[in-house]
Structure 1
Amino acid sequence: MHVHHLLNNNSIANKFIAQLRDTKIQQDRMRFRKNIERLGEILSYELSNKLQYTTRDITTPLGIAKVDLPANEIVICSILRAGIPLHNGILNYFDDAENSFISAYRHHPNEDEEFEIKVEYLASPSINGKTLILADPMLATGRSFVNVMQALKQMGTPKEIHLVAVIGAEEGLKLLDEEFPQNTHLWIAAIDPKLDHRGYIVPGLGDAGDLCFGTKKQH
């Protein structure tokens, strides 16, 4: 797997990550969602460098301009519910992409800290032969990405896979490297060193879904 780590180089993305992490600023849900959307846009710009391009003639008022434009058939699949603002950021840049939505959540069968990732809902076009962008803000254990990709197999085999995340943990990256095809690209803003005993990223930012949309009843 090819890992593209945004914070390896300083940019305005540092500010958006800092605000997402800050316990005071992150209480503003609108700003939290907007910062995830902004990072989705930045990561999409970086991702666009790896797409295929074809040259087209564009008619201007004064002549013809040759422009290289993306040629990929793109499907953006976001993992509900925290993936919604990230999806919006990606869609802002790839506005002619097809869209897919899937639910994946932590299910605690014994009402303790042990959990499994359950996938229950999928609405998707065919991804066969297309460029799949799979988006989830938090890459903790990596099991959400793996389970969702397994569920998407019924929709075909993509030509290429790009994973987009805001913050991830080393453990999750290791699992993705083992489970996804070697030519998969991961576009991620920040990589943190570890998970806590509950499987949350440390230092991370907390529960992205709750910070975006409010607390939920635990399963």
Structure 2
Amino acid sequence: MKVQEILKENSIANRFISQLRDTNIQHDRMRFRRNIERLGEIMAYELSKELEYENKNVETPLGSVTVATPQDELVICSILRAGLPLHQGILNYFDDAENSFISAYRHHPDNDEKFEILVEYLASPSLEGKTLILADPMLATGRSFSNVLKALESMGNPAMIHLVSVIGSQEGVEYLKTVFPENSKLWIATIDKELDANGYIVPGLGDAGDLCFGNKLQH
């Protein structure tokens, strides 16, 4: 699996990440969701450079012109619920893509800090021969992405897999390299060095799902 870290080069993405991390700003849920959506748009643009293109003749009011247009059959799969704003950002650029939704969440069976990743819901078209884009803003341990990959096996074999995330841990990235196939690439805004004892990214930004949509009860 290849890795493309967007913030290795300075761009407007730095501002969006800064606001997502800032405790004085992130309480504004609308801005938080919009900043994740913007980063989805940025990474969709970068990802688009690696799609397959073919020339198409387009008629204008004054003549005709040949334009290279993408030919990949795309399926965007977001991991509920935090993945929804990121999904929307990607969909803003790939508006003719098919869409898939899957749940993957931290289940605390003993009501303590120990957790397992559960996948309980999946709605997806066929993935056979298509380009799959998996979207989840936080890449902590990497288990959510790997469990989702297993859950999607029955949907067919994609020709290419792109993972899109906002903030990840180095540990999680290294884990994904061991479980995702060679025909996959991770697009991520920035990678933090640490996970804490509870599996949260440090410095990270907190719980992206709660910051997007409000606090939830653990179950």
TM-score range normalised by the length of the shorter chain: over 0.9
Give secondary structure in 2 for the equivalent of 1:4: strand
CA-to-aligned-CA distance 1:21-76 (integer Å, 9 cap, x gap): 00010000000000000000000000001100010000001111100000000000
What is the one-letter code of the residue matched to 2:178? E
- Secondary structure of the structure 1 residue equivalent to 2:119: strand
Separation (CA, whole Å) in 1 of partners of 2:183 and 2:127: 17
**CA–CA separation in structure 2 for the residues paired with 1:130 and 1:56:** 21
Q: In structure 2, what is the Cα distance between the partners aligned to 1:116 and 1:217? A: 16
Per-residue deviation, 1:173: 0.3
Aligned to 1:192: 192
Residue 110 of structure 1: how far off its partner (Å):
1.3
SS in structure 2 opposite 1:72? coil
CA distance in 1, matches of 2:182, 2:125: 24
1:204 aligns with 2:204: yes
Q: Distance in 2 between matches of 1:193 and 1:78?
A: 25
* % identity of equivalent residues: 70
Cα deviation, residue 113, structure 1 = 1.0
Q: TM-score scaled by structure 1?
A: 0.99
Partner of 1:47: 47
List per-residue Cα deviations over 1:157-182 (Å, max 9, x = no partner): 00000000000000100110000002
Q: Is the 8 A contact 2:159 2:183 kept in 1?
A: no
Residues paired across the two proteins, number: 219
Where does residue 14 of structure 1 map in the other structure?
14
AA in 2 matched with 1:36: I
Displacement of 1:145 after TM fit? 0.1
Q: Tell me, in whole angstroms, the C-alpha distance in 1 between the residues paired with 2:159 and 2:33.
A: 30
The amino acid that maps onto 2:71 is A
Aligned to 2:83: 83
| Unaligned residue ranges in structure 1 (runs of 5+) | none
Backbone CA RMSD of aligned residues: 0.5
**Number of the residue aligned with 1:116:** 116
Structure 2: 5+ residue stretches without partners = none
Give the distance between the partners of 1:17 and 1:216, measured in 2 at CA.
24
Moved segments of 4+, more than 4 Å: none
CA distance in 2, matches of 1:192, 1:216: 25
Give the Å deviation of 1:183: 2.6
Q: Does 1:144 align with 2:152?
A: no
Q: CA deviation at 1:15?
A: 0.1
Q: Aligned equivalents of 1:59 and 1:201: distance in 2?
A: 50
TM-score by length of 2: 0.99
SS at match of 1:25: coil
Deviation at 1:212, TM superposition (A): 0.1
**CA distance in 2 between partners of 1:2 and 1:46 (Å):** 14
